Structure 1
Amino acid sequence: MANSTLVTEFFLEVFAETWELRVLLSVLFLLVYLGSLLGNLIIIIVTTVDHKLNTPMYFFLRNLSILDMGYVSVTAPNACINSFTNHRNISVAGCATQVFLFSFSASVEIQFLTIMAQDRYVAICKPLLYPMIMNHQFCVQMTLASLLTSLILASVHTFKTFQLSFCQSNVVPHFFCDIPSLLRLSCSDTFNNKLLLLLSAIGLSGSCFTFIAISYVRILSTVLKVPVKGERGKAFSTCVPHIIVVNLFFCSGAYVYFKPPTISEIVEDMTLSVFYTIVPPFLNPIIYSLRNKQIKEAVKKVIFRFFIVE
C-alpha cells in the first residue's frame, strides 16, 4: 500500500487559522465527544443491568450505543488534538486506518438505524406479530449481517482508495481522512472509485433510507388513526426527532460525498461533516433513550444500587 503512493504522510485541515477560534471549537468538540461517550455508556450499562429491558428494542439500542462510542471516537479526538496542538500530519497507514474505521462505522450506523425503524414499525403497526418477527434469533442475525456487510464494504473501499497514487498534494481538505477528500488528491484515474461509491450509495444508503422513510410513513399513518390525542402526541414526539436525526445523517453525508468537486468549499464540507460524524452519536442517546420512561427508571435504579447503597 505504501509503494502505491508518492507521499509518506498527509496533512489535515483545521477549522480556523486563528488559535483562539481553534481552541474554542476544540473545547466544543471535546464537550460533545464526552457527552456522547457518557450518554451512550449510560444506555449500555442500564440495558445490560436491568433485565426488564431485555427486549429487541433495547437490544438494538445497546448495539447502537456501542457503535456510536466507536464511531465518534474515530474522528472527534483526533480533530480536537489537531486544533489544540496544530499537529496536522497523519501517516498513510493512520489515514488508511481512519478511512476503514469510519467507513465501517458509518455503514453499520446506517443499517442499525434501518433495523430500529423496522422494530418500531412492527411494534406500532403489527403489535400482535411483534414477538414472532422480532425474535432474538432474528435480532442477532441482523446484527451480524450488518457487521459483515460493513466489514466487506469498508475493506473494499479502503483497498481501492489506497491503491491510487497521491502525487498532486498531501494536504487533505478535511479534518479527518475520508474517501472524497483523498480522491481529489489522487493523480490516478478515480472513475472506478467514484463508481464504487455511487453503487454503494444506491445499494446500501439509498435502500436503507427508502426503507426508513416508508417505515415512518406507515408508523405516522397508523398513529393518526389513534383516537386518543395524548397517545398521538406521544408517538409524534418520539418519531419526529428520529426522522430529524436520520435526515441530518443521510442528507449531509450525501451532499459531501456526491456533490460535484467544482463547487467544493472546504469549510462548508467540514461543517456539514460534523452533522454525520459527531452530532448523531451525541443526539442518539437523548432521542432514542433518555426521553424514554423505562430508561429513566432504569438509570435511577442503577444509581441507587451502585452509589446510594454503598
Structure 2
Amino acid sequence: MSYDRYAAICHPPHYEGIMHRGACVQMATASWLSGCVYGAIHVAVSYTLQSICSRTFSASGCIASFICDIPFIYGIGTCSGSPLNLNHQAWLTAAYKVHMSNLTIFTEFVLMDISSSQELQVVQGLLFLVIYLGALTVNLVTVTVIVTDPHLHSQMYFFIGNLSLIDICCISVTVPKFIVNSLTGSKLISLPACAAQIFLFLLFGSTELAFLVVMSHDRYVAICHPLHYGLTITPRLCTQAAGGSWASGLVYSSIHTGTMFRFPFTETNVIHQYFCDIPQILRISSSEVQFSEFIILTVGVALGLLCSALLFISYINIFTMVLGMHSMEARNKALSTCTPQLAVLLIFTISGMAAALGPISEKASLSNLLTGMFYTMVPPVINPLIYSLRNREINTALGRMFHRYFELRRRAFFG
C-alpha cells in the first residue's frame, strides 16, 4: 500500500500503467503466499521443542494470556498471571536437556551406496556426473534458444521454457550431492540439507505437474478453439498461470516439509536411497509425523487425481478434434505439438507412480536405487530431447542460433 501511494503521488501520470489490475492481483497473491509459507514454517518449528518435552514432562496447560501467544507457547509464560517469567524458560531448557539425554537425536543421515569399493564409487560418481551435465546442457540449450529467438516468443514456448527450467532445478536438487559423496567416499547428509532436498524436490515436482495441466489447456484452446486462442491465452494469463503454478508448488512443499520435520529423528538415520527420499524419511519418522503425512498425502493424491482428470479431459477433446480434421497437414501439425507434451506427461506420471506406489525398502538394494534414478533423472533428461527432436520450430531456431554463433566466431577470427 505504501508503494501504491508512492506511485500515485510521485508518479501520477504513470500510475495506471504501474498499478494496473494485474499488478494488484499479483502483489496481493504474493502477500498472502509469503504469509502462508512463513506461518507454516514458523508453527512447525515452534512446536518441535514443545511436542518433545510434552512426552515426558506434564504441564498444567495454562497460558497466561487470552490467546495462544507465541512467547507463551515458547514456554516463557506462567500460570500465575504474571506476563513473563524468564525462570520458567530456564526450567524448560533444563527439562529439555534432561529429556534429550535419554534419547539419541540424529542430526545427520547415512545415504545408500552402491558399492563399498572406492574405485566403483568413483566410477558411479563420474557416470552420474556425465548424466547430470548432459541433462543440464540440453535443458539450458532449450531455455536459451526460446529466450533468444524472437520466433519462439509465444505462449506455448513460454511454458516449454519454464518446464525446462524446472527440469534443471529438479535434477540439481539430488544428483550433485550424490556425485560429491561418491567422489569423496562420504555417505552423510546433514539434517538441514536433507530437509532442503525434500522441500525443493516437492516444490519442483508439484510445480511441474501444475505446468503440465496449464500446457494441456493451452493446447486444447489452440487446437479446438483456434480463433479465440489469442484472446483466451494472453501473455498476461500465461504470467498469472506460471505464477500460480509456482505458488501452489511452494505452498504444498512448505506444508509437506514442515510437517515431516516437526519431530527429531530418534530411531535410525539410515536412508536406503541415494538422496532424501520421502518414503524413506517417513519410514524413520515418528508415528505422529506418519499420521499427519497420511492426511497431507491423501489431500495431495486427491489434488493429483483432479489434475490428472483435467489433463485426461483436455487430451480427449484434443484428439477427438484432431481425428475429425480433413486436412492432413493440419492434423500432422496438431499432433506434432501435442505428442511431445503427451510423452512428457506419460513419463512424469509413470515416474510419479513408481515413487508413490512402490514398496518402501527396508534394506539397500539395486532395484531401489534404479527406482530412485528413474523418477529423479529420467524426466529431466528425456523432456528436452522430446521437444528438440519432435518440434520443428525449436529445431529451426536451434539451427539459427548455432549459425549466428559460428558466424560471430568467424568474423572475430578473421576480423
Q: Same fold (TM over 0.5)?
A: yes
CA shift for structure 1 position 135: 0.4
Alpha-carbon distance in structure 2 between the residues aligned to 1:208 and 1:239? 17
| Structure 1 Cα separation of the partners of residues 115 and 334 of structure 2 | 42
Identity %, equivalent residues: 38
* Structure 1 position 229, deviation (Å): 4.6
- Match of 1:119, SS state, is helix
Whole-Å Cα distance in 1 between the matches of residues 368 and 319 of structure 2?
33
Q: What does 1:25-40 align with in structure 2 at a 5 Å threshold?
A: 25-40=124-139
**TM-score with structure 2 length normalisation?**
0.68
Cα displacement string for residues 225-259 of structure 1 (whole angstroms, at most 9, x for unaligned residues):
22345654564465444333322322332332245
Quote the residue 1:63 is aligned against: 162
By relative contact order (CA 8 Å, sep 6+), the higher-ranking structure is 1
Structure 1, unaligned runs of 5 or more: none
1:269–1:221 Cα change, 3 Å: farther
Tell me whether 104-113 or 193-202 shows the greater mean CA deviation: 193-202
Structure 1 229/14 Cα, relative in aligned 2: closer, same or farther at 3 Å? farther
Amino acid at match of 2:157: Y
Instruction: Look up the equivalent residue of 1:76 and give its one-letter code.
Output: V
Q: CA deviation at 1:11?
A: 0.9
**Which residue number in structure 2 is paired with residue 92 of structure 1?**
191
- Structure 1 window deviating more from structure 2 (86-95 vs 249-258): it is 249-258
Unmatched segments (≥5 aa) in structure 2: 1-44, 53-103, 410-415
The 1:178/1:262 distance shift into structure 2, 3 A limit, reads closer
Correspondences of 1:102-117 after superposition (within 5 Å): 102-117=201-216
- 1:200 aligned to 2:300? yes
CA RMSD of the aligned region, Å?
A: 2.5
Q: What residue is the counterpart of 1:304 in the other structure?
A: 403
- Does the C-alpha gap of structure 1 residues 107 and 264 become closer, same or farther in structure 2, counting only changes over 3 Å? farther
Alignment partners' CA distance in 2, 1:134 and 1:168? 52
Larger Rg: 2
Change (3 A) 1:260 1:71: closer
Render the CA deviation track for 1:54-93: whole Å, top value 9, x for unaligned.
1101111111112211111001222222233331100001
1:252–1:273 contact (8 Å) kept in structure 2: no
Contact 2:280 2:360 in 1 (8 A): no
2:243 maps to 144
Distance in 1 between residues matched to 2:118 and 2:154, nearest whole Å: 48
Distance 1:86 1:199 in 2: 40
Q: Does 1:160 align with 2:265?
A: no
**Alignment partners' CA distance in 1, 2:314 and 2:365:** 35
Mark the CA change 1:62 to 1:261 in structure 2 (over 3 Å): closer, same or farther: closer
Q: Are 1:253 and 1:273, in contact at CA under 8 Å, matched by a contact in 2? A: no
Question: 1:182 aligned to 281, 296, 299, which one?
Answer: 281
8 A contact 1:6–1:167 mirrored in 2: yes
Aligned residue number for residue 274 of structure 1: 373
From 136, 139, 143, the equivalent of 1:44 is 143
Are the aligned partners of 1:248 and 1:275 in contact in 2 as well (CA < 8 Å)? no
Secondary structure of 2:110's counterpart equals strand
- 1:220 lines up with 2:296 in the alignment: no
Q: How many residues align?
A: 309
Partner of 1:210: 309
Q: Distance in 2 between matches of 1:234 and 1:105?
A: 30
Moved more, 122-131 or 264-273: 264-273
List per-residue Cα deviations over 1:33-68 (Å, max 9, x = no partner).
112111111121111111121110111111111221
The answer to whether the 8 A contact 1:14-1:82 is kept is: no
- How far, CA to CA, are the matches of 2:115 and 2:232 in structure 1? 50
TM-score, structure 1 normalization: 0.89
Q: Does 1:74 align with 2:173?
A: yes
